[in-house]
């Protein structure tokens, strides 16, 4: 790399880390919202009896 | 009529959620392939620059990041404006989804630009440089948009107020682009977006164009996934979400 290796590879390395972090964050948020929506849906299901914790 | 009907469908959360879910895998595969191809072209196939040597290869991640930062801002501001004018929740959802992506690409542009600047200019950062400062302002606009939203408990109020900030901040985008022409900057002038011919040869330009397209498709992929999460956050108690998660039958 003609003396530029540390600059080039650090730029590509940081880019790769940020891109992977973006993928992780987007999928984590989507999965988290799916779990939350599923939990809320079960809590509000018709005919369901509330738990003691919810009443108290 | 077809376009009007489609535009109205974009206000429907289940329609947008499913559309984003269908598009995301295609964007994912094509984005990763294009970025891998562009990265190989930039690191291996492109010849060294006659002045900057192999150090110029940083442009293959720096330029797409900088471009994506501005594109993400335009997506955020345009969809925020549409949401503000037509009271479309999905448009606000799109703006919210674009903000963290835009912030991360702008951060990348600043960091990779600094890494490039050290061997070329002798410094990582120059406070008096108009391009660097306007790019830093773009990062602050993204962060300001997210912090402003987080300061409201009422989501509708957050949508309206943050949309105003997003639209006002659009003025910074042309300033970023033309800063190297309007002021004497340490940052070099335009290389690709010139009225005459690009200032680099085709064997250097081709991988860069592939990377720019790859970054754009990658952004579209994550925008779809973030939008899906945002829709579920906004529509968590809707019947279609219950059917989606199987909550009603549990």
pTM, two decimal places: 0.89
Higher pLDDT, A27 or B197: A27
Closest to A32 (Cα-Cα) out of B89, B150, B72, B225: B225
For residues B211 and A4, is the Cβ–Cβ distance under 8 A? Answer: no
DSSP H helices in chain B: 2-9, 13-40, 59-86, 89-121, 130-150, 155-168, 172-182, 202-235, 239-245
Note whether A1 contacts B61, CB cutoff 8 Å.
no
| ipTM of this complex prediction, to 2 decimal places | 0.89
What distance in Å separates residue A48's CA from the closest CA in chain B?
9
Closest to B58 (Cα-Cα) out of A25, A47, A37, A10: A10
**What ranges do the domains of chain B cover?**
23-46+54-240
- Those residues whose C-beta lies under 8 Å from the C-beta of residue B208, and which sit 6 or more positions away, are B38, B42, B59, B60, B63, B64, B192, B200
The pLDDT assigned to B248 comes to 45
For residue B227, what is the nearest residue in chain A, using CA coordinates?
A30
Q: Does B118 touch chain A (CB under 8 A)?
A: yes
Note whether B116 contacts A11, CB cutoff 8 Å.
yes
For residues B119 and A11, is the Cβ–Cβ distance under 8 A? Answer: no
- The pair of three-digit structure tokens given for residue A35, joined into one six-digit string: 């779990």
Count CB-CB contacts under 10 A for residue B130. Answer: 20
For residue A4, what is the nearest residue in chain B, using CA coordinates?
B55
Note whether B245 contacts A41, CB cutoff 8 Å.
yes
For residue B236, what is the nearest residue in chain A, using CA coordinates?
A37
Note whether A22 contacts B108, CB cutoff 8 Å.
no
Strand partners, B53: B49
Note whether B237 contacts A32, CB cutoff 8 Å.
no
What distance in Å separates residue B151's CA from the closest CA in chain A?
20
Higher pLDDT, B148 or B235: B148
Chain B residues with CB under 8 Å of A32 CB are 229
Angle between helices B155-168 and B130-150 (to 10 degrees): 170
Higher pLDDT, B38 or B248: B38
The pLDDT assigned to B247 comes to 56
The pLDDT-based confidence of B1 (bands split at 50, 70, 90) is low
Residue among A18, A29, A38 minimizing CB distance to B104 = A18
Q: Which of A5, A6, A7, A16 to mutate to test the interface with B (most CBs of B within 10 A)?
A: A7
Residue among B48, B104, B249 minimizing CB distance to A22 = B104
**Per-residue pLDDT for A48 more than 70?**
no
Note whether B249 contacts A44, CB cutoff 8 Å.
no
Angle between helices B89-121 and B59-86 (to 10 degrees): 160
Determine the Cα–Cα distance for residues B190 and B179; give it in Å rounded to an integer.
10
For residues B165 and B140, is the Cβ–Cβ distance under 8 A? Answer: no
pLDDT tens string B79-112: 999 999 999 899 999 999 999 999 999 999 999 9
Q: Could you identify the residue written with the tokens 């009443």?
A: A55
What distance in Å separates residue A12's CA from the closest CA in chain B?
7
Chain A residues with CB under 8 Å of B111 CB are 11, 14
């Amino acid at each position: 790399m003609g003396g530029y290796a540390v600059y080039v590879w650090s730029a590509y390395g940081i880019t790769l880390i940020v891109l992977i972090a973006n993928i992780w964050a987007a999928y984590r948020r989507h999965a988290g919202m799916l779990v939350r929506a599923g939990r809320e849906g079960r809590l509000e299901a018709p005919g369901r009896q509330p738990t003691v914790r919810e009443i108290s | 009529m077809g376009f009007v009907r489609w535009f109205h469908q974009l206000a429907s959360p289940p329609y947008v959620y499913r559309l984003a879910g269908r598009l995301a895998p295609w964007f994912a595969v094509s984005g990763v392939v294009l970025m891998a191809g562009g990265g190989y072209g930039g690191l291996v196939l492109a010849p060294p620059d006659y002045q900057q040597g192999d150090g110029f290869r940083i442009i293959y991640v720096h330029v797409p990041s900088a471009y994506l930062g501005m594109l993400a801002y335009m997506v955020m501001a345009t969809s925020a404006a549409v949401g503000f004018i037509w009271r479309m929740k999905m448009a606000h959802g799109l703006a919210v989804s674009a903000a963290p992506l835009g912030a991360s690409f702008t951060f990348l542009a600043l960091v990779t630009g600094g890494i490039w600047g050290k061997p070329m200019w002798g410094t990582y950062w120059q406070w008096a440089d108009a391009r660097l400062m306007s790019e830093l302002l773009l990062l602050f606009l993204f962060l300001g948009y997210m912090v402003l939203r987080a300061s409201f408990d009422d989501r509708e109020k957050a949508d309206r107020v943050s949309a105003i900030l997003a639209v006002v901040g659009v003025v910074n985008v042309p300033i970023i682009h033309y800063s190297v022409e309007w002021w004497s900057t340490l940052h070099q002038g335009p290389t690709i977006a010139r009225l005459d011919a690009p200032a680099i040869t085709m064997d250097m330009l081709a991988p860069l164009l592939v990377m720019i397209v790859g970054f754009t498709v990658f952004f579209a992929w994550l925008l779809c996934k973030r939008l899906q999460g945002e829709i579920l956050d906004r529509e968590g108690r809707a019947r279609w979400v219950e059917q989606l998660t199987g909550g009603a039958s549990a």
